[in-house]
Structure 1
Amino acid sequence: MSLDLSILKQLNNILKNKGYYYKNFKSYLLPLKDKLPLEISQKIDNIITKENPETSELDDIVNDILLEIYSIKRGDYNRLKEPLVIKFSNFVKTLEQLKKIGIETAEDIIFHFPYKYDILSSSSNDRCVLTGTFEDSKIVKTKNGKKILEAVFKGDTGYFYGVWFNFNNRYPLLLLKKGENYNLYGKLQNFNGLPAIVHPEFLSTDELGKIRPVYLLPENVKDNLYLSLLKKVYMEYSEHIVETLPLRLIIKYGFLDLKNSLRYIHFPDNINEFKKYNLLSHRRFVYEELFYLQLGLFIRKNSYGEVRGIKFDIDKDILLTLKPYIPFKLTDAQKKALKDIFNDMKSSKQMNRLLQGDVGSGKTVVAFISGVLAVKNGYQVAFISPTEILAEQHYNNFKKLFKDDFSSCLITGSLKQKDKKYLKALVESGDISFIFGTHAILQEDTIFKNLGFVVIDEQHRFGVMQRKILIEKGYTPDILLMSATPIPRTLSLTFYGDLEISIIDQLPPGRKPITTKAFRQKEIGKVFDLVKEQIEKGFSAYFVYPLIDESDTLDLKAATQAYEQVAEFFGEDNVGILHGRMKAEEKNYLMNRFKNREIKILVSTTVIEVGVDVPHATVMVIENAERFGLSQLHQLRGRVGRGGDQSFCYLVYSDKISEDGLKRIKAMINYNDGFKLSEIDLEMRGPGDFFGTRQSGLPDLKFSNIIKDTDILLSAREDAFEILKEDPYLNKPENRILKEMLKFKWKDAYELVNIG
C-alpha cells in the first residue's frame, strides 16, 4: 500500500486525540474507509454499526492501518540489497566500474545522490545552452599539425561557435545540416572573439529548461549511461521502497514520503518542481540519517543503564583516607569530574562515562582516585592503555603516588610466559587489586576475582564487542573512558551520544603555557641552536617526522634520514631513533633510555603522539608540520611541558605548504587550548575526516554534515529521546518501522533493543 498523506494526517489526529477518537470514532474512520484495502475497510464497516465498541477494538483498527502502511516485509527491503548484475547484465562493464565507488546493489544506486544539478537553459552560469541555426564549418590546422573543427551558428543575439578537437567524418559533421536549428550545451568560452562551446552536447527542444542531476562517478562511466541505468533500477525496484520514517515525524516536518523524496532528488521534471521539493527531500534524508543515529545511541545508552552495576559505598571518611596520597590541589574541573564519577559509582546502574580533558589536564589522577575507591570497596581495577609504553607509564605513576599501599601489577605481551602466568594467578585469587596492561588483558584468559572498575585510556570508542566480552565473562564493572582529544559538542553528541560525558577544561596551577614558534625549512639551523640551548641546560628534546622511509609518494624526509642530520649536529651518542616498525621491546628499551637521560634527543615518527610522560623533555620539534592534522600537532606538543619548566614547540614547514597547512600552523601559534583547536580543526576538515579511521561501530554519515546540520541534529536527538521515553522497546505499532529499520541501519543497536 502506498502512502497517502491524507491517511497519515488523519491517523496522526487519532493518535494525538485518543479521547476524542473513542467518543467520535465514526467521524474519524469514515473518511479513511474508501482509501484502505478491502479487509480493513470491512472491519471499519463492522465497527461503525456498533453503538459503543470497546476501546481495544478501536485501537485494533488503528493498529491494523498502521501495520498496513508500515508493513516492511523483510523480503521487500532485502530485495534492494540484490546485486545489480543479476537483472542488469547488459550494463556489466558499467557495473564493474561502479563497484569502485561502492555501488553494487539496487540500494547503493538509489541512495547515491547527485552532488549538483545542471539547469539546461541559456541563463545558467557555468554551463549553458546556445541556440541558433547552423551556417558553416571549416577544419583548421594548428602549427603542431592538429586539426580543429569550427562550426558557426547564428542565434538571436549574434554568431557563436561550436568547436571540436576530437571529431571524425561521421560526428558531428553528418549531424550538421545548413539552415537547421541546434541547441548546443556545455561550458561557455570565448573563441576568436565570439561565444563558443567546446565539444558541445546537442539537446532536443524537449530537454530545454529541464534539470539534470550530476553524480560523482568513475572517470569512464558516462553520465547518460549511468542515468539510463538508474532509471531502469528505480522502475524495477520502486515497489520495494518502503517508508522508513514514522508518520508523526513525516507530518511534524512536512516531509514527503520516501518514494517521492527519491523521485524529486533523482528525476526532477522542471525548475518549479525542483525549487519546491528538492531541498525538502534532501532535508528529509539528512534528518533521517541523524535521527536513526541518535535513536541507536539512545538505545545503546539505555541498554547500559539496564545492566545492573555495582553500588559502591563512597562517604567522607573514605575520601579523607585518600588525601595523603595526593600531594597537590585538584582543580575545580577535576573535582567536578570526580563528583560525576562518584554519583555514577554510588548508583546501582553500570557507569559508562567518557572523561575528556586537554593534554596535561590531570585525567589520570581522577581515574586513579576513582579506582582506589573501588578497591576500598573490595573490588579490582583494570587500567587499560593502547600501548605497552603507556601501560608501563601509568603503572609507574600509580606506584609513585600510592607506593605499595595498594597491590598492583603490569601485564604486557613482552612479559615472559612464566611471569605472566604467575601474575594472572594472583589476579584470579584477588591478591592484586590494580591491573595495568593493554586490551589483551580483557581479551585473553585473564580471570578476575572481583572486577569492579575498568579505565580505558586514549580510545575513541570502547565498543559493544568489548562490553560483550566483559558480560560473557560475568563482569559488569563501571567503565570510565579517557580521551585527550578534545571534541566539539556536536561531535560529542554524534559519536558519544551513548555515554555520559565529563570534561576537564582547566590545567593544573603552575603549568606554564608552551611557547610555540614556526620556522621555514631553510631556518632549521636556528631551530638546532635553540634546541642546543635547552640540551646544555640539562633538558631533553623530541624531533618528530611523519614517515619512516621515502617509499611514500609524499616528498617528505624520512625519520632515518633525519636521524643522521640530527646525530651529526648533536653527536651520535646523544640521539636515538624510534619508529613504528620497531618491536615493542626495542621501543620500550629506547624510551627507557630517553627517560633515564642516557640519550638527550629522540628522533621519532608519531609513535610518541599519545600520553608519553617525560618531565625533563622541554622541546618538541615537528618537521614537515604542514603534513600533520591540528589534533595531531596539539597532541605532539602536549608531550613536553610535563614538568614545571618552560617548554617549547617548534614547527618547521616546507616551502610547499598549502593554505590550510598555514592556517593550522597559525592556529597552533595562537592557541594552547585543545577545545578551541578542535573547533578550528572540525571547521577545516569537516566531520568525515575528524576522527580519521574510526572503529566506532556507528553507521557512516552519508547525507549529513554535522557542522552545517547542527539544528537538524538537535531536533533529531530530541525526537528520538521522546519516542524512546514513551516506548523504550519500540513495541507500539506506529514504532514498528523503527525497530525494523534498525535491523538494516545499525545492527548493534537492534541487538540491544532485542536484549531489552
Structure 2
Amino acid sequence: MTALEDIPVTTLKGVGHALAGTLAKLGIHSLQDLLFHLPHRYEDRTRIIPMGSLRVGDVGVAEGEVVKTDLVMGRRRSLQVTLRDSSGFLVLRFFHFNAAQKNQLAEGVRVRCYGEVRPGRAGYEFYHPEYQVNPPPMPATGEATLTPVYPLTEGIQQPRVRSLCQQALGYLKRYPIRDWLPPTLLADYQLPAITEAVALVHSPPASASVTLLMEGRHPAQQRLVMEELLAHQLSLLQVREQIQAREALPLLPTGELAESFLDSLPFRLTGAQGHVLAEIRQDLSQPLPMLRLVQGDVGSGKTVVAAMAAIQAISAGGQVALMAPTEILAEQHFQNFRNWLEPLGVELAWLSGKVKGRSRAGALERVASGQASVVIGTHALFQDDVHFQRLALVIVDEQHRFGVHQRLALREKGVEGRLAPHQLIMTATPIPRTLAMSAYADLDTSVIDELPPGRKPIETIAIPDSRRDDVIERVRSACEAGRQAYWVCTLIEESEALQCQAAEVTAQSLLERLPGLRVGLVHGRLKAAEKAAVMDSFKRGELDLLVATTVIEVGVDVPNASLIIIENPERLGLAQLHQLRGRVGRGEEASYCVLMYHPPLSLNGKARLQALRESQDGFFIAEKDLEIRGPGEVLGTRQTGMMQFRLADFERDKGWIEPVREMAPALLKDRACVEGLVRRWLGERTRYGDV
C-alpha cells in the first residue's frame, strides 16, 4: 500500500526540478517530510489594526488604499508606497522590487499587508511586508485562524511553503500518517492521533485555542513534541544497543598499581570520587562495553578518577586512549598522567595534530606495538594511521566539544577490531539533569558532587568597564602580595585572528600600566610549544599576570592564582563563565572573580551575571543557562546538528523527558516502530549510530 513517505514532493502542483532541489535543502523529499516540516510559531492575522493605533514594534495586519507610489533614490533605491485608512497613514518600503510590483501597487488600489512597525523617514513603515492586492473580505471573527510560520531556506518564501503544506494536507484522507504509538499510550496522556495532530498544527481551526497554539502547549503540538523527544531518545538508545552488541575486554581490578598510585597522591579521595570509582570499577569488569558519563564541577577531581580507571585497564593488560578537544587541555592531561604514571613504570605517548615527522612515527610505533600503555591527544587519535595493539578503554574529556559520531569512531580501534573499548566520558560542564537524560540517553551518568576539602568559595563581583583603573590597581596589589592573576579577553568577533589581536593589545597596555609585573600572553594562534612554555612559566610562578583568550577555559591548574578578571562577560554563556571562574580558588587563599562588563546590559546579560554572583554551584548555573540560552548552546552542539528540535522546546517541554525515558525501552523492541520514528523526525541528519 502506498504511504505518504513514498509519494515524492514533485507530485504537488508547481513543484518542478528546481523547487524540489530547494526543498531538499530543508530535508523535504516526500509528502510526509513536508507535513513534518512543522510551523515553529504562528502569527495572529485574524484582525485588521487601524493605522492610527499602530506603535513601533507592533506586528499585525493593516489595510488601506494606495494614495502615492514613489521611487526614492537615497543611499539605497527603494519603492515607497503610502497607504491610508480612516485613522491614518502607513508606508510600505521595498528595497527589492520590480516594475510589475510597482505597477501593481498603483494609486487607488486596496492593499492588505502584514509586517512589523518601524520608525521611518515618512512616519511608521512596514519593510518588505507580505501583502495582497484587492483582498477578499476578512473572515468573520468566529472563522478566523492563526497563520503558520515555517523554517525557510534561501529560494523559498512563507506563502509558497504554506500553499504546498495545504496541498499536502489534501492527501491525508487517502493516505493517513502511520501512527507508531500504541493507542493505550495516547489514551493515557489524552493525546490525539498523529494524522489529526499534524493537520491541526498546519491548519488550526477557528475553534482552536489561540493562547495554547501561540505558546506551543496545544494537545496537537504536545502530541508531536512527545513523539519528537521519543525519536531522539530511541536513536541514542539504538547507539547504545549497537555498541553493547559487541563484547568488551573484561578489566578485572588487581589493586597493586592502584594502591601505589593512591599512596603517591598528596590528598585523599572524596566520598563522591570513591562512589563514582566503584561504579566505574564494576562497569570495567564486565564483558560489555562501559558507556559512562562522569560529570563534576570545576575542581571536583575528575582527572584522578580517570587515572584510576586507566590504571584498572593497564593492570589488566589493556591500552588506554585519552582524548581532549584542545591542545592545551590535552597537554595538561599528558603532564598530569606522566607525573602520576611514569614513576609507576607506565609508558605514555603523546599524539596531536602538531606532532609531525619522526616524533609522530615513533609515537605511532610505540602505540601499535603496545609499548605505550596510555596515548593522550586531540582528535588526531581518530586518524586512520593510529593503530592500537590492545585498546581497552577510551576516555573522552569535554564530550560536548566532539560530535557523537566522532566519539563512536574510536570504537572501531578496539582489540582485533572485534572487541569494543570501554568508554568513559568526562565533562566539567555540569549538565542539567533533564538535558543529560535526553542528550546522553546512550550513557550511564555519574556525578562527582563534592569538592575536595579546603576549597574556598570564590567571591564574584560585577563592575562596569568605566572602573578599569580600579581593576588594574586590584591586580597590582594582588600580584605585589605574591599572588597571581588571570586577565581574560573576550571578543564578539568570530575571527580568531581578531581575538588574538585584542589579547595582544590588552597585554601591551597592561605591561605599560603595571611596569613592575611580569606579564604573559596566551591565545589560540600561538604554537603548542609556545603556549605550553607560557603556561609552564605561569604555573612555576615566573609570571605574575597571564593575559589570555578563552583558551584557558578548561584544565589549567595554578593554585597560587587567586584573581581572575573577565572582560565583557556578557558575551559568554554562563557555563563558560563558570568554567573560567574555576581557574582560581584552587589554593588556600581567598579568591576573587571580577566580571568587567560594558553597559548597558541586556536583560539576559543581567540575568546571567546575577546567577553567577549568587551561586558557585555548577548545576544551578547550568539550569539557569538552559533557561536563558537553550540546549543547543548549553551543549555546544549547534554545529553537530544534535538537539536541534523542530518543535520541542527543552524548557517548556521538560515535563515530557521522564515519561519519554520510561516508554522508550519497551518501544525499542519494535524495530519497525523505532526505524519509522527515527526516519520521520531525524530524517537525513547524522544518525548517531551510523558511523
- The bucket for the TM-score relative to the shorter chain is 0.7 to 0.9
Residue 284 of structure 1: how far off its partner (Å): 1.2
Report if aligned partners of 1:114, 1:213 keep a CA contact under 8 Å in 2.
Answer: no
Residue in 1 that maps onto 2:263: 324
Q: Deviations over 1:652-706 (max 9, x none)?
A: 0112321211221122222111111111111111224322335657463111112
Q: Secondary structure at the match of 2:146?
A: strand
Q: Secondary structure at the match of 2:429?
A: coil
Residue in 1 that maps onto 2:137: 204
Q: Secondary structure at the match of 1:648?
A: strand
Q: Which moved more, 1:349-358 or 1:391-400?
A: 391-400
In 1, Cα distance between equivalents of 2:205 and 2:197: 13
Change (3 A) 1:534 1:103: farther
**Structure 2 counterpart of 1:393, from 332, 335, 339:** 332
Count of matched residue pairs: 645
| 1:228 equivalent in alignment to 2:163 | yes
Q: Secondary structure at the match of 1:501?
A: strand
In 2, Cα distance between equivalents of 1:266 and 1:387: 45
In 2, Cα distance between equivalents of 1:502 and 1:232: 50
Which amino acid in 2 is paired with 1:643? G
| 1:711 equivalent in alignment to 2:646 | no
In 2, Cα distance between equivalents of 1:701 and 1:631: 21
Q: Deviations over 1:520-568 (max 9, x none)?
A: 1111111111111221133322111113979799999922321221121
Residue in 2 that maps onto 1:456: 396
**Structure 2 counterpart of 1:243, from 172, 178, 181:** 178
Change (3 A) 1:550 1:561: farther
In 2, Cα distance between equivalents of 1:150 and 1:225: 28
Q: Deviations over 1:239-296 (max 9, x none)?
A: 5663252343444444433333222122234326989999221111101101111112
Report if aligned partners of 1:576, 1:599 keep a CA contact under 8 Å in 2.
Answer: yes
Q: Deviations over 1:614-637 (max 9, x none)?
A: 233222111111111111111111
In 1, Cα distance between equivalents of 2:444 and 2:2: 34
With the length of structure 1 as denominator, give the TM-score of the two structures. Answer: 0.74
Residue in 2 that maps onto 1:691: 635
**Structure 1 counterpart of 2:225, from 277, 282, 286:** 286
Residue 317 of structure 1: how far off its partner (Å): 6.8
Which amino acid in 2 is paired with 1:284? R
In 2, Cα distance between equivalents of 1:422 and 1:175: 80
With the length of structure 2 as denominator, give the TM-score of the two structures. Answer: 0.80
Q: Secondary structure at the match of 1:531?
A: helix
Residue 344 of structure 1: how far off its partner (Å): 0.6
| 1:384 equivalent in alignment to 2:312 | no
Residue in 2 that maps onto 1:502: 446
Report if aligned partners of 2:524, 2:551 keep a CA contact under 8 Å in 1.
Answer: yes
Structure 2's unaligned 5+ residue stretches are 69-79, 94-101, 118-123
Change (3 A) 1:226 1:438: closer
In 1, Cα distance between equivalents of 2:481 and 2:501: 29
Residue in 2 that maps onto 1:343: 282
Q: Secondary structure at the match of 1:651?
A: strand
Which amino acid in 2 is paired with 1:328? F
Which structure is higher in helix share? 1
Residue in 2 that maps onto 1:112: 38
| 1:522 equivalent in alignment to 2:466 | yes
In 2, Cα distance between equivalents of 1:718 and 1:748: 26
In 1, Cα distance between equivalents of 2:651 and 2:85: 48
Which amino acid in 1 is paired with 2:476? K
Residue in 2 that maps onto 1:485: 429
Residue in 2 that maps onto 1:264: 200
Report if aligned partners of 2:485, 2:544 keep a CA contact under 8 Å in 1.
Answer: yes
Residue in 2 that maps onto 1:558: 502
Structure 1's unaligned 5+ residue stretches are 1-70, 140-145, 153-160, 177-182, 190-195
Report if aligned partners of 1:443, 1:469 keep a CA contact under 8 Å in 2.
Answer: no
Residue in 2 that maps onto 1:624: 568
In 1, Cα distance between equivalents of 2:412 and 2:494: 46
In 1, Cα distance between equivalents of 2:403 and 2:157: 44
Residue 646 of structure 1: how far off its partner (Å): 2.6
Change (3 A) 1:319 1:425: closer
**Structure 1 counterpart of 2:408, from 448, 467, 482:** 467
In 2, Cα distance between equivalents of 1:549 and 1:121: 42
Residue 487 of structure 1: how far off its partner (Å): 0.5
Residue in 1 that maps onto 2:72: none
Change (3 A) 1:312 1:692: closer
| 1:357 equivalent in alignment to 2:293 | no
In 2, Cα distance between equivalents of 1:275 and 1:544: 45
Which amino acid in 2 is paired with 1:120? T
Residue in 2 that maps onto 1:615: 559
| 1:443 equivalent in alignment to 2:383 | yes
Residue in 2 that maps onto 1:605: 549
In 2, Cα distance between equivalents of 1:690 and 1:716: 21
Q: Deviations over 1:307-328 (max 9, x none)?
A: 2122222367775454412331
Which amino acid in 2 is paired with 1:379? G
Q: Which moved more, 1:603-612 or 1:238-247?
A: 238-247
Change (3 A) 1:537 1:510: same
In 2, Cα distance between equivalents of 1:660 and 1:566: 30
Q: Which moved more, 1:602-611 or 1:501-510?
A: 602-611
Q: Secondary structure at the match of 2:558?
A: coil
Report if aligned partners of 1:388, 1:437 keep a CA contact under 8 Å in 2.
Answer: yes
Residue 184 of structure 1: how far off its partner (Å): 8.2
Change (3 A) 1:185 1:628: closer
Change (3 A) 1:737 1:497: closer
Q: Secondary structure at the match of 1:399?
A: helix
Q: Secondary structure at the match of 1:329?
A: coil
Q: Deviations over 1:556-607 (max 9, x none)?
A: 9922321221121123982232222333333223323333333322211111
Change (3 A) 1:519 1:549: same
Report if aligned partners of 2:562, 2:591 keep a CA contact under 8 Å in 1.
Answer: yes
Residue 639 of structure 1: how far off its partner (Å): 1.5
Report if aligned partners of 1:513, 1:672 keep a CA contact under 8 Å in 2.
Answer: yes
Change (3 A) 1:462 1:345: farther
Which amino acid in 1 is paired with 2:39? F
Change (3 A) 1:279 1:595: same
| 1:313 equivalent in alignment to 2:241 | no
In 2, Cα distance between equivalents of 1:441 and 1:217: 38
Q: Deviations over 1:333-383 (max 9, x none)?
A: 111111110111122211110110000000001111121122222222222
Matches within 5 A, 1:566-581: 566-571=510-515, 574-581=518-525
Residue 331 of structure 1: how far off its partner (Å): 1.1
Q: Secondary structure at the match of 1:271?
A: coil
Change (3 A) 1:170 1:485: closer
| 1:592 equivalent in alignment to 2:533 | no
Q: Secondary structure at the match of 2:508?
A: helix
Residue 438 of structure 1: how far off its partner (Å): 2.2
**Structure 2 counterpart of 1:302, from 225, 234, 241:** 241
In 2, Cα distance between equivalents of 1:382 and 1:266: 49
Residue 649 of structure 1: how far off its partner (Å): 1.2
Residue in 1 that maps onto 2:357: 417
Change (3 A) 1:128 1:417: closer
Change (3 A) 1:464 1:307: farther
Residue 722 of structure 1: how far off its partner (Å): 2.3
In 1, Cα distance between equivalents of 2:260 and 2:555: 28
| 1:88 equivalent in alignment to 2:88 | no
Q: Which moved more, 1:231-240 or 1:632-641?
A: 231-240
Report if aligned partners of 2:520, 2:547 keep a CA contact under 8 Å in 1.
Answer: yes
Residue 222 of structure 1: how far off its partner (Å): 7.0
Report if aligned partners of 1:409, 1:423 keep a CA contact under 8 Å in 2.
Answer: no
Q: Secondary structure at the match of 1:436?
A: strand
